[in-house]
Structure 1
Amino acid sequence: MNTKQSDKRITALYARLSRDDEKEGISGSIQNQKAILEKYAKDNKLQNPRFFYDDGFSGVTFTRPAFMEIMELAEQGMIGTIVVKDHSRLGRNRLVVGQLLEEDFVRLDIRYIAIMDNIDTEKGISDIVPMQDLFNEWHAKNTSDKVRKVMQSKGMSGKPLTTNPPFGYMKSPDNKDEWIVDEPAAKIVRRIFDLCVSGLGPTQIAKKLRSEKVLTPTEYWNSIGRKCSKPPTIPYGWVADTVSGILDKQEYCGDTVNFRTYRKSFKMKKKLDKPKDEWKVFPDTHPAIIDRETFELVQELRKHRRRPTKSGIVSMFSGLLYCADCGEKLYYSVTNNYKREQAYFFCSAYRKNSDVCSAHYIREKVVEQLVLESMQRVLWYVQSYEKLFAQRQLAEFGEKQKKEFAEKRRELDKSKLRVREIDGIIQKLYEDNATGKISDERFATMSMSLENEQSELKDRIPALEDELENAKVKTEGLQRFIDKAKRVTRLEALTSELVHEFIEKIVVSAPEYKDGKRYQEVAIHYNGVGIIREPTAEEMEEYFQEHISKKSFLKAKTA
């Protein structure tokens, strides 16, 4: 590079401040760094000084706006010198900092100066610099550990860990850890849930909100002056992901949900999702926008995603019909050439390979009629003979299942106790090994055997918990089903909401032909109770007579 080109190159005065540094006070502030850098540039007659800064960015990441701008200019040959107050301002990732000093700055012919650490690449790099990079990284790790422990403590106390409340809430003016309902936004949230219950999916809901010119969360927050990212370039730009995010949030039931995500390393800023069973949920910590029953119904609806056909038609039964022979779902089919009355379901396995299964063809209108008639009979049965219904359902649970439930409960408790015992045994073995009571070889053999046993138990425990939960749901679901059934006063037509509230699945058998007539078995499984066998006329008469006899006996005894 000739001297004339070199004279035009910029001296980048770079300052960085992370949120943790900010807590240390004014000595680490951007303004203080700027004053030091400008004075150094003036005293040392550095050419074309230009100030760059990243405020609120960790030294672990290098995707900082100002630093990336410097490197882009450097690639164009426009940066001659980079000056920082101290070496940690450049970054706290020793691998990246090492590559910058030893490769990138050399390749780009950049002089690097860290004022307080007496580093100047023009004079050569001291052997102690890599050690400084290591200490700087340790500092970042220790800071990250401290922050994580603080957040862990806060999260376990039931305080929300999110910086900003979800759309529909705002922070209370009196307590920043308390959420209150933001009614204009909450109205939109309720509408999204109502649209989902009515049968629309996230894409259809987003399209409807766009057509109605409803403000997106970001647009709304900007309109009320809440600090957030720049508004989208497309007005009312609702997308399916935004709608899905709202429909997934348990916080709308009034719960605080902490520890949804985690990071693999303090160097990684990307958050990964945790399994749901590792979340920490604190019920009823703030006012609910959506009642729990509606929220659970929406989650159930979303399990059975109902994609519209090419004609845009969605069936209320989509996702609920299963093949009795192969267990696969039944596809819904309707085209513009057909009338809605001709829409039908058929086995998805048969569609992929006709040798695997048969079509199990059934029209949508037939399913609708069967479900309507079944629900009418079942609801009448529950409302008129609640006690008989409950007795029969519990009897079906059976003594055998109750014994299995008790055995699994004992096995679960025993497994959890053994896991804790193994922790104690391994700790004792470690102490014995450290004091020389047992050899290293013996310690390795015993600890490996115990760890394998513990690992097997830990794998078994979730399965046992699931089995127990399913049995528990069977008994608890019965009362919920009765309560729901008693609220439906008159059923004349089906809605998507009613179908998914009451129906778990519909199992369709292959049709049979007898005497030229088509017969097809359809088994309707109800949520929480399974298949409901309605009593015969003789059973109803027997129950009725027994009921009347008991009433007569009680009246006579009272008299």
Structure 2
Amino acid sequence: MKTIALYLRLSNEDINEGESDSISNQRDLLRNYISSKKDLQDYEILEFIDDGYGGATFDRPALNKLLRLTGKTIDIVIVKDFSRFGRNLIEVGNYIDQVFPFLGVRFIAVNEDYDSNNYKGSTACIDVGLKALIYEMYSRDISQKIRAVQKSKFQKGEYLCTLPLYGYMRCSNVKNKLIQNPETAPVVKRIFELACEGKTATQIAVIFNTEGVPSPYMYHRAKGTDKKRGWKLSSENTIWTNAIVHRYLSDERYTGKQISRKRTKIDINTKKTKQIPRSEWIICEDAHEPIVSRDVWKQAQLVMKPYRSKPYAIADYNLFKGLLKCEYCGRTLTFFKNIKEPCYRCPTRRFVTFCECKDVRINEQQLKDFVLSEIQRQIRVFVFEEIKNGKPDNNRFQVEVERLEKQLKQLDCKKTLLFENLADGKLIKEDFKEKTAELCEKKIALEKEKMELLQKLNSIYASEDNVPKEWGKYAGIQELSQQLVAELIQRIKVFPDNSLEIVWNFKDCIKD
């Protein structure tokens, strides 16, 4: 059965625009539109909702799910207007002009009176591009206004983060003000007391874990506020570590200061941030009640300073970085290189006196030998199956794909030339539209032909069990590389008895 996808989006700034942009009103508008169109009556309707996500970036969970299904199970995408789909000029234009036509997906923007079925090629590109440009400019303008408001609040000492600083809680009477949390403030105060007594961050972590003091994450989890954090954890059962203790000891906000704008976004279209020099930080004195005095904080810094210059010897180059997971505690194993026998160890042993994974120790060379032998086994089995099944030669398909790619590049050059001729007055608008539509039709046909050839190539290299597409280039491999490991291995389970299990990025070729 054919399917229509309704995409609904509401960002935080759109809340101030009034009731017309709410999720419920978008839903009513789109469903009324569908009910008024006879050709859409027999379609199944699916909803994809991004509530609280801005349109400047396309990294949104519901949108990502929708785009994965377009051309497969979704035939039509309907939005309220272009801004609901996105406010980025380049991305919106690319999807409407290239991606959706290539996938055979119909795109409808109700309030813009846009239906891709009513246009051929890119005749609507200028109209869509202008509107997308306006939406992008609007996003940048809103971003600047929000930053100005935030800066004003930061200068007043207001706390705007979602999750209160550990040791504090939100004041119920004064908005954006922190007060001491009677449950966690004593823990922070004790951290500084132990540091002033000469205890290292690791020793403090061990003391807290031995006494059963909940880690910050476990505390928030018990209170039901753990989902508000803006980061992911490797394990849902966290403990106190030296890194957590160091972070709190170096945080000046525990002296009553409110320090803001230490990082800022590089651009509204990305989530990447950059550090800001300390001279540009916004620091407000006596913004909230201090947990420790300024003198105690300074003393803790002096006590901790000698230990900061002696980190554990962790290698810069780590072939299995992030892949080795302890099956007992869920933490990622740490690589120690500057020792007699480089090895991987579970970091939990340093902070918990009694734990099942305290003896986990994987020799680096033995791990490399094990992983290499397992990869070679997978290759041998696949190659044997390939020969037995008589896989066809793929050279002919490769040549055809290269030929099509060359033709596609030529079409792009011709399209650029048409724009230049139109701008120079060498081509009238009607001829420009006609020739552009012809080029787009040719491009769609070539893209479709190329996709069919690539699917044939994939069927040659990959079995029904989703085996990697290019096993041949790894035949006879005698040494591991970071690219090879990252491409083939999802993670490596390490058990308390030091046994290993590889989780592949494909279905195991070897049937037990």
TM-score of the superposition, structure 1-length normalised? 0.50
For 2:90 and 2:312, the matched residues in 1 are separated by: 53
Q: 1:22 — aligned with what?
A: 15
Q: Residue type matched to 2:98 in 1? A: E
The corresponding residue for 1:532 is none
Q: Secondary structure at the match of 1:57?
A: coil
**Partners of 2:267 and 2:101 in 1: how far apart?**
30
- Tell me the secondary structure at the aligned position of residue 184 of structure 2: helix
Partner of 1:358: none
Q: 2:32 maps to what in 1?
A: 39
Q: Structure 2 counterpart of 1:293, which letter? A: D
Whether the 8 Å CA contact 1:193–1:247 is kept in 2: the answer is yes
Identity of matched residues, %: 32
Select between 237-246 and 149-158 the one with higher mean Cα deviation.
Answer: 237-246
Output one character per residue of 1:26-77: Cα deviation in whole Å (capped at 9) or x when no partner. Answer: 11100111111222223322511101110110001111111111112237x1
Closer, same or farther: CA 109–214 of 1 in aligned 2, 3 Å: farther
CA contact (8 A) 2:162 2:228 kept: no
Q: How does 1:73-84 map to 2 (within 5 A)?
A: 73-74=69-70, 77-84=72-79
Tell me the C-alpha RMSD between the 2 structures.
2.8
Partner deviation per Cα, 1:281-316 (whole Å, 9 max, x = no partner): 222221111221221223334443164889xxxxxx
Consecutive unaligned residues of structure 2, counting only runs of 5 or more, are: 314-339, 341-512
Match of 2:386 in 1: none
Of 5, 13, 19, 2:6 maps to 13
- Rounded to whole Å, the distance in 1 between the matches of 2:208 and 2:303 is 20
Residue 292 of structure 1 is matched in structure 2 by: 294
Call closer, same or farther: CA 1:234–1:206 in 2, change over 3 Å: farther
> C-alpha displacement at 1:178, in angstroms?
2.0
**Residues 218, 229 of structure 1: 8 Å contact kept:** no
Secondary structure (helix, strand or coil) at the match of 2:138 reads helix
Match of 2:250, as an amino acid? D
Q: Distance in 2 between matches of 1:237 and 1:39?
A: 52
Q: Cα distance 1:309–1:99, how it changes in 2: closer, same or farther (>3 A)?
A: closer
d(CA) in 2 for partners of 1:131, 1:289: 54
- For the structure 1 residues 211 and 152, does the alpha-carbon distance in structure 2 shift closer, same or farther, using more than 3 Å as the test? same
Determine helix, strand or coil for the equivalent of 2:179.
strand
How many residues in Structure 1 have an aligned counterpart in Structure 2? 305
Structure 1 equivalent of residue 271 of structure 2: 269
CA distance in 2, matches of 1:201, 1:137: 50
Q: Which amino acid aligns with 2:113?
A: N
What residue identity is the alignment partner of 1:173?
S
What is residue 87 of structure 2 aligned with on the other side?
Answer: 92
Higher relative contact order (CA 8 A, sep 6+): 2
1:176-211 per-residue CA deviation (whole Å, 9 max, x = no partner) reads 222110021112222333344444544554454344
Aligned match for 1:66, one of 58, 62, 69: 62
Bigger radius of gyration = 1
Q: Give 1:78 shift.
A: 1.7
Tell whether the 8 Å contact from 1:13 to 1:52 is kept in structure 2 after alignment. Answer: yes
SS in 1 for 2:227: coil
* Equivalent position SS for 1:79: coil
Check conservation: 2:217, 2:226, Cα contact below 8 A.
Answer: no
- For the 8 Å contact 2:55–2:86, the answer to whether it is kept is yes
- 2:155, 2:284 within 8 Å by CA — same for their partners in 1? no
> What is the rounded CA distance, in whole Å, between the counterparts of 2:196 and 2:3 in structure 1?
60
**Residues 169 and 180 in structure 2, CA contact (< 8 A), matched pair in contact too:** yes
Q: What stretches of structure 1 of length at least 5 have no aligned partner? A: 1-7, 311-334, 336-559
Aligned 8 A contact 1:161 1:258 in 2? no
| Structure 2 residue identity aligned to 1:92 | R
Between the aligned partners of 1:151 and 1:309, the Cα distance in structure 2 is 39
Contact 1:180–1:287 (CA under 8 A) maintained in structure 2: yes
> Counterpart of 1:193 in 2: which secondary structure?
helix
8 Å Cα contact 2:7/2:49 also seen in 1: yes
Provide the residue aligned with 2:253 in structure 1. Answer: 251
Higher helix share: 1
1:391-426 CA-partner distances (Å, limit 9, x unpaired): xxxxxxxxxxxxxxxxxxxxxxxxxxxxxxxxxxxx
Letter in 2 for 1:130: G
